[in-house]
Amino acid sequence: MSEVKGLTRQQMCDRLAMEFEDGWVVNLGIGIPTLCSNYDFGDKEIILHAENGVIGYGPLTGAGKEDLHLVNAGGQHVTLNPGAAIVDHADSFGLIRSGRIDVTVLGAYEVAANGDFANWKMAGQQGGGIGGAMDLASCARHVFIAMEQVTRRGAPRLVERCAIPVTARRVVNLVVTNYGLFEITPKGMALKEIAPGITVDEVKATSGCDLIVPTDLPTVRTRA
């Protein structure tokens, strides 16, 4: 497998975290999205929500500082912010299904130009379980996706149509990859910001759909 180019996974999640608005309740899915909790939100009050019932958590813990009883939905050890709560799994999903999640950040195998995304079953896989992603995609006010630009075999993850079972249709708002930040618009998928060291030709060559590319294309914003 070739070396990953462009943004690191933490930089990808930092960029999405910049879009969180003050007062938002933010669900972070398993995998890359969990790194959003490491972002310094400054004066913004952001309430991080995990499906397993941890509400109001903070950054991932460092080695040797873990509370073995305190994990996010991916089983990673996390810290708690002042005012945090631990609730029943059913109550956690009650928050999701009642529309109280402002944004969910999820991983995906594919995202289509019209906002469809697939993240629960790979091609040729037997079985599989859609899990909480179905509820989050249906009930959250915004859906952001964090994923690598291509698969381990070099196939595009940004596609015209999803070739594997879809999690939800026409719900994605923003996608960040190691190559850039993309927005789903009524006219299709738009490249909004490009990763340092990556060219527009490289983005196009690794995308399986047509992209809207502005003439004046900024570089992806990263924290200092």
List the CATH number of the domain containing 86. Answer: 3.40.1080.10
80: which residues sit within 8 A by CB, 6+ positions away? 54, 56, 57, 58, 70
- Tell whether 152 is covered by a domain: yes
Q: Give the CA diameter of the chain.
A: 51
Give the Cα separation of 25 and 56 in Å (integer): 9
Q: Is residue 119 part of a domain?
A: yes
**E strand segments, the chain:** 25-28, 47-49, 54-60, 78-86, 103-106, 110-112, 117-118, 142-146, 158-159, 174-177, 180-185, 188-194, 211-212
Confidence of residue 1 (pLDDT cuts 50, 70, 90): very low
Residue 49 tokens, joined: 């929500």
Please check whether residue 157 lies inside any domain of the structure: yes
pLDDT in tens, 181-216: 999 999 999 999 999 999 999 999 999 999 999 999
The residue segments making up the domain with residue 137 are 9-212
Cβ 27 vs Cβ 210: under 8 Å = no
Q: Does position 88 have pLDDT exceeding 80, yes or no?
A: yes
pLDDT tier for residue 122 given thresholds of 50, 70 and 90: confident
Residue 217 lies in a domain: no
Nearest to 53 by CA among 80, 32, 21: 80
Identify whether 24 is part of a domain. Answer: yes
Closest CA to 195 of 178, 207, 209: 178
- Residue 127, pLDDT score: 67
In the residue annotation, 51 being an active-site residue is answered as yes
Q: According to the model, what pLDDT value does residue 132 have? A: 85
Residue 72 CA to residue 31 CA, distance in Å, equals 11
Q: Does residue 218 form part of some domain? A: no
Q: What is the pTM of this model?
A: 0.95
Of the candidates 151, 150, 152, the residue with the CA atom closest to the CA atom of residue 206: 150
Is 220 inside a domain boundary? no
**Alpha-carbon span 152 to 166, nearest angstrom:** 20
Domain assignment present for 224: no
Residue, of 64 and 17, whose pLDDT is higher? 17
What backbone torsions phi and psi does residue 172 show, to the nearest 5 degrees?
Answer: -75, 135
Contacts of 175 (CB under 8 A, 6+ apart): 108, 111, 144, 145, 146, 147, 158, 181, 182, 183, 184, 189
Please count the structural domains in the chain: 1
Among 19, 51, 148, 183, the active-site one is 51
